[in-house]
Chain A
Amino acid sequence: MGEAFSELMKKIKAGEFVYTGELEPHNLSTDISDVVEWAKTLKSIGKIVAANVTDNPQSFSAMTSLAASFIIQRDSGLEMIYQLRTADKNRLALASDILAASALGLRNILALTGDHTHMGNTPDAKPVFDLDSAQLVDLIHHMVYEGVDLAGNEVQGPRPQINIGVAGNPNQEPLEIEVLKMERKVEVGADFIQTQVVFDLDIALTYLDAIEHLNTPTLIGIFPPRSYGQAEFFDKFVSGVTVPPEFLEAFKKFKQISDKAERKKKIDEFNIEYFIDFIKEIKKKKNCAGCHIMAVGYPDVIAPIIEGVEK
């Protein structure tokens, strides 16, 4: 683990169990005012240390996450984790963005490969993938700690001050593939791991055990669903994510409740109870540094979940 530049890393190093949120600029929109408001809501919860800003998720073009991260951090006061994917930029453009991020006061980058460009709304775009996520980690690490890019060109003036996050996938089958992959990413300089959404506690615990030897703080990703449809979507359409049958069954029952307010109340209660227990269990693992809560547009459950865990 390298130096702590960000508040997130400082808190992790101090042994605090941290929470991060997720923010998503709208597709093809110049307006992120509501995303800033959402960031303010996350900050007001108190325990949320930072939030990720997605970079063209699912290869749908949105405002560059570099600019969005800067604006949201400036206007909300919440620290951002700037997500940067290699799908759209070569190593030269990525180095430019790393320099810019540091100059703009962004202190965390989540290094991602990203979904294939063909899966998004501009399927005929040229996919770049000059680097993959591990190589992006290598690039950032070189710039931060050696003051050079991957071609050996020297950084002029102060070096970037960035902590490097990587994505983990506890749902990968067989898990050995994922463990070997994470070993590579940590070898080249990953500071922390944020994982893909996990619904199944056993999967999260098994994952934490499997990567314990890496001594790398890991934030397990959760996503409290707002409806049966959302839970089912994760189970059926999100690569590698499985939702336990009993979880789906509970949401199926909630779907039958005709009164909207009553239905929401039941769903909220279920999510709060389920994820408090979930987080309490993962928190027992030494390498579990926190929880990454992906609940865009569903603030009602975040505070009660965190309060429930922390009390």
Chain B
Amino acid sequence: MIITKEKPLEEIYGYISDCKNVLFVGCDGCTQPPRGLKEAETLAKLVEMKAKMEGKEIRCRFTTVVKQCCETSVGNLRTEMEGCDAMVSLACGVGVQIMNKVYPEVCTYPAQDTKFIGAEEIRQGPMYEMCLACGECILHETGGICPVTRCAKGLLNGPCGGCVDGKCELPMEVNGELVKNDCAWYLIYHRLKELGRLDLFRKYRPPKKRSLAMNPRRL
């Protein structure tokens, strides 16, 4: 799933404070946490309220689509978007770009910062980055744990000297708190040991073909 984080209301309001009619468009696709109809409605109401407090009138409507990364799906909004002078997308960065492509006559602004491809341990729990879409998957060699993503340095021959008690020395800020992630290579070592495949841990891995992840990619 694509993990996103809502931008501050002030920032979103700043994009559209001069508009009269704004359509807030949710996405029922893979954006997490969910940013569908309910979230689009909440954001639309908040913006409308903020405008009122500032003595302005912005008419905020809301809707959602199955997935904003699909031009066909986004194309169904034609009737609903009529008359609006801006749209706000609650999807990931892909959705915002597709909205702008399909409806070039109005600007679609992002309501979310797109963070990473990840997973959640429990429903609506903390989310973790799991895949960098590097284009050269080696999970079959690393016990199903991705060092390219989950090692802060993306090492193929880890761990580095900064692995202490199984933790990465690099502190990460999560919701205002400093936490230390598990060292990916420490996890890989234990997983491969458990599988009786330390030969895979010992194996020297040559440098990655970075050209496979050269953007923008096409398939």
Sort chain B's interface into a size bin. 20 to 34
Q: How far does the Cβ of A112 sit from chain B's closest Cβ, in whole Å?
A: 9
* Partner-binding segment picked from B20-28, B31-39, B86-94, B203-211: B203-211
CB pair A116–B162 under 8 Å, yes or no, is yes
CB pair A132–B155 under 8 Å, yes or no, is yes
Chain B positions 147-191 with a Cβ under 8 Å from a chain A Cβ:
152-165, 169-170, 185-186, 189
For A172, the chain B residues whose CB sits under 8 A away are: 161, 163
Residue of B156, B169, B207 ringed by the most chain A CB atoms within 10 A = B207
How far is A169 from B204 in the complex, measured between Cα atoms in Å? Answer: 18
CB pair B161–A240 under 8 Å, yes or no, is yes
For B51, the chain A residues whose CB sits under 8 A away are: none
Task: Count A-B contacts at CB 8 Å.
Answer: 79
* Partner-binding segment picked from A70-78, A175-183, A251-259: A175-183
With A132-B157, A135-B157, A180-B198 already in contact, the answer to whether A116 and B204 are too (CB < 8 A) is: no
For A127, the chain B residues whose CB sits under 8 A away are: 152-153
For A184, the chain B residues whose CB sits under 8 A away are: 157, 202-204
Interface string of A5-34 (1 = CB under 8 A from B): 000000000000000000000000000000
For B109, the chain A residues whose CB sits under 8 A away are: none
For B164, the chain A residues whose CB sits under 8 A away are: 239-240
For A169, the chain B residues whose CB sits under 8 A away are: 161
CB pair B156–A132 under 8 Å, yes or no, is yes
CB pair B204–A134 under 8 Å, yes or no, is yes
CB pair B169–A239 under 8 Å, yes or no, is yes
B62 at interface by CB-CB < 8 Å: no
How far is A119 from B186 in the complex, measured between Cα atoms in Å? Answer: 20
With A135-B157, A239-B164 already in contact, the answer to whether A130 and B207 are too (CB < 8 A) is: yes
Q: Pick the residue among B152, B161, B186 that contacts A239 (CB under 8 A).
A: B161
A138 at interface by CB-CB < 8 Å: yes
Chain A positions 73-129 with a Cβ under 8 Å from a chain B Cβ:
87, 91, 113, 115-116, 118-119, 127, 129
How far is A189 from B152 in the complex, measured between Cα atoms in Å? Answer: 26
How far is A212 from B104 in the complex, measured between Cα atoms in Å? Answer: 68
For B159, the chain A residues whose CB sits under 8 A away are: 177, 181
For B210, the chain A residues whose CB sits under 8 A away are: 130
CB pair A131–B207 under 8 Å, yes or no, is yes
CB pair B157–A116 under 8 Å, yes or no, is no
Kindly report which residue of chain B lies nearest to residue A173, judged by CB atoms.
B165
Q: Pick the residue among B157, B165, B170 that contacts A181 (CB under 8 A).
A: B157
Kindly report which residue of chain B lies nearest to residue A188, judged by CB atoms.
B204
A196 at interface by CB-CB < 8 Å: yes
How far is A150 from B205 in the complex, measured between Cα atoms in Å? Answer: 13
Q: How far does the Cβ of A201 sit from chain B's closest Cβ, in whole Å?
A: 20
CB pair B170–A116 under 8 Å, yes or no, is yes
For B198, the chain A residues whose CB sits under 8 A away are: 176, 180
Kindly report which residue of chain A lies nearest to residue B166, judged by CB atoms.
A173
CB pair B186–A177 under 8 Å, yes or no, is yes
A167 at interface by CB-CB < 8 Å: yes
For B152, the chain A residues whose CB sits under 8 A away are: 116, 118, 127
How far is A20 from B159 in the complex, measured between Cα atoms in Å? Answer: 26
Q: Pick the residue among A91, A119, A138 that contacts B170 (CB under 8 A).
A: A119
CB pair A180–B170 under 8 Å, yes or no, is no
A187 at interface by CB-CB < 8 Å: yes
For A196, the chain B residues whose CB sits under 8 A away are: 161
Kindly report which residue of chain B lies nearest to residue A113, judged by CB atoms.
B160
CB pair A134–B157 under 8 Å, yes or no, is yes
CB pair A91–B207 under 8 Å, yes or no, is yes
For B153, the chain A residues whose CB sits under 8 A away are: 87, 113, 116, 127, 129, 132
Given contacts A129-B154, A239-B163, 10 further A-B contacts (CB under 8 A): A116-B162, A133-B160, A167-B161, A177-B163, A177-B189, A180-B201, A181-B157, A181-B159, A183-B202, A240-B164
Top 10 A-B pairs, shortest CB-CB distance: A134-B157, A184-B204, A132-B155, A129-B153, A180-B202, A169-B161, A135-B207, A116-B170, A132-B157, A239-B169
Name 28 A/B residue pairs within 8 A (Cβ), A-sorted: A113-B161, A116-B152, A116-B162, A116-B169, A118-B152, A119-B169, A119-B170, A129-B154, A129-B155, A131-B207, A132-B153, A132-B157, A133-B160, A138-B207, A150-B206, A167-B161, A169-B161, A172-B163, A176-B198, A177-B159, A177-B201, A180-B198, A183-B202, A184-B202, A239-B161, A239-B162, A240-B161, A240-B164
Taking Cβ atoms with an 8 Å cutoff, the residues of A that contact B are 87, 91, 113, 115-116, 118-119, 127, 129-135, 138, 150, 167, 169, 172-173, 176-177, 180-181, 183-184, 187-188, 196, 239-240
